[in-house]
Amino acid sequence: MPDGAMPVLEVRGLKTVFHTRGGSVHAVNDVSFHLMPGELLGVVGESGSGKSVTMMSLIGLLPSPPADVQSGQVLLGGQDLLKATPEELRKVRGARIGFVFQDPMTSLNPVFTVGSQIMAPLRKHMGLSKAQAEARAVELLELVGIPDARRRLKSYPHQFSGGMRQRVMIAIALACDPEVLIADEPTTALDVTIQAQILELVKELRQKLGMAIVWITHDLGVVAEIADRVMVMYGGQVVEQAPVKELFRNPRHPYTRALLKTIPKLGGQRGERLQVIEGQPPILGFPPTACPFRARCAHAFARCEAENPARRPVDGLPLSQGHDVACHWSPEGAEDPSQEAAHA
C-alpha cells in the first residue's frame, strides 16, 4: 500500500471452515488483503476457489452453523468486524459496507415493492422519515439509470428485467453511501449488452462517489477493464496479487498463467480449440499442507507436495506493495506463455 496511506478495509489471516455431516470443508485458508480508499480490487478464480465465501465471511453473512470463521481480523476503520456483536454487524451491513449479490433474480424480495426495499436501509441506518427516504430512493434509481424513477418505486421485482433488477440491487447497496461496495459477480446472469451497461454504470458511480469496490468475477476481460489491482484465488487461498497491468504483463503463478491462456484470442485461427485447465479444483477436506494447484500444474516438483508455499514479494518489494505470489516455482528465464493472451 502507498506510504502513509491507510486502507479502508484490511483483512488478516482469515480462515473459514464449514462443518458438515460429511466432514469439514476448509473453504478459506489464511486469506489476507487490503483495500485502499477509491480503489477497485478484482478478485478472480474458478468456481469453488473461495471468492464469495471470503467476502461473506467479512460481514457475517454465512449461516453459523455450519460456517465457522475460525480466526483472522477484518479491520474497517480500526474496528475488527470478527469481534463485533450481531447488532454492531447489522449497523455495518448496508451502512458502511454495501453488498451486491450474484443473482438479481432471487436477491430481491418478490412480495415487497422495489421502493420499500430501497427505503428500508435508509430508514434503519440513516433515520430518515418516510418522505425523506422516498426522495432519496428516487435519487438512487435515477443515479443507476432507471427511467421514471418515482413511478417505478411502486413496482414489484417481477416487473423489472434482469438488468433493471441488478441496477436496483446496486441502488440498495449504495443507499447509505457505504465506504466499501462488494459486488459478487453482479453481471454473470446478464446478457453481454446489459453487462456492458452495468460496467459503465460502476465506472461512473465510482468516479462520482469515490468509494472502494471489491469486484468478484471469473471474467479476466472485466478485470482488465475496470480493476486497479487483482487478487487471484485458488483452493481457498490467495495465490497471486498485483496491479492489473503488472498481472497481465508478468503473471508469476502457474494458475494465473493458465487462466490468461484460456482467454479467447480475437486473431486466433479458425477451428482452433480453446485452451482449458486440465483437472478439477481440490477437495478442501483438510487444512492445506501442500500447494493446492500441484495436481494440475505442469511445473510441480517434490517441494510442492511437501509444503504449502507462503506468499512472497516479487522483485524484492514489501509484501504489502506491488506484486506477490504463493509458489515454489519461479518463471525466471522461461518464455511467458501468457504474453499473447494478456494483450488479447
The domain that holds 24 is classified in CATH as 3.40.50.300
Q: Is 162 domain-assigned?
A: no
Which tens digits make up the pLDDT trace of 276-287? 888 888 989 998
Q: Choose between 72 and 266: higher pLDDT.
A: 72
From the list 90, 202, 121, 104, the residue with the least C-alpha distance to 157 is 104
Helix orientation angle between 114-126 and 130-143, rounded to the nearest 10 degrees? 120
**pLDDT, position 62:** 93
Q: Is 318 domain-assigned?
A: yes
Given a contact cutoff of 8 angstroms between Cβ atoms, the answer to whether 324 and 245 are in contact is no
- What is the total count of domains within the chain? 1
Range of the domain at 43: 9-96+176-265+274-342
Which tens digits make up the pLDDT trace of 114-123? 999 999 999 9
Q: Which helix (H) or strand (E) holds 193?
A: helix 192-209
Task: Give the list of residues 6+ apart from residue 180 with CB closer than 8 angstroms, or none.
Answer: 8, 9, 35, 76, 96, 97, 98, 211, 212, 213, 214
Which pairs from 289-297 meet CB under 8 Å and 24+ separation?
A: 291/327, 291/328, 292/234, 292/235, 292/236, 292/237, 292/239, 293/234, 293/235, 293/239, 293/253, 293/254, 293/255, 296/255, 296/258, 297/254, 297/255, 297/329
Lowest-confidence region among 34-38, 201-205, 303-307: 201-205
Q: Is 102 domain-assigned?
A: no
From the list 161, 179, 202, 171, the residue with the least C-alpha distance to 38 is 179
Q: In what order do the strands lie in the sheet with 79-80?
A: 23-35, 9-20, 67-76, 79-80
**pLDDT, position 341:** 37
Q: Is 157 domain-assigned?
A: no
Confidence of residue 268 (pLDDT cuts 50, 70, 90): low
Q: Is 115 domain-assigned?
A: no
Bridge partners, residue 231, by sequence = 43, 241
pTM of the model: 0.88
**pLDDT, position 110:** 93
Q: Is 242 domain-assigned?
A: yes
Confidence of residue 269 (pLDDT cuts 50, 70, 90): low
**pLDDT, position 229:** 96
**pLDDT, position 214:** 96
Q: Is 65 domain-assigned?
A: yes
Lowest-confidence region among 15-24, 253-262, 264-273, 290-299: 264-273
Q: Is 136 domain-assigned?
A: no
**pLDDT, position 201:** 81
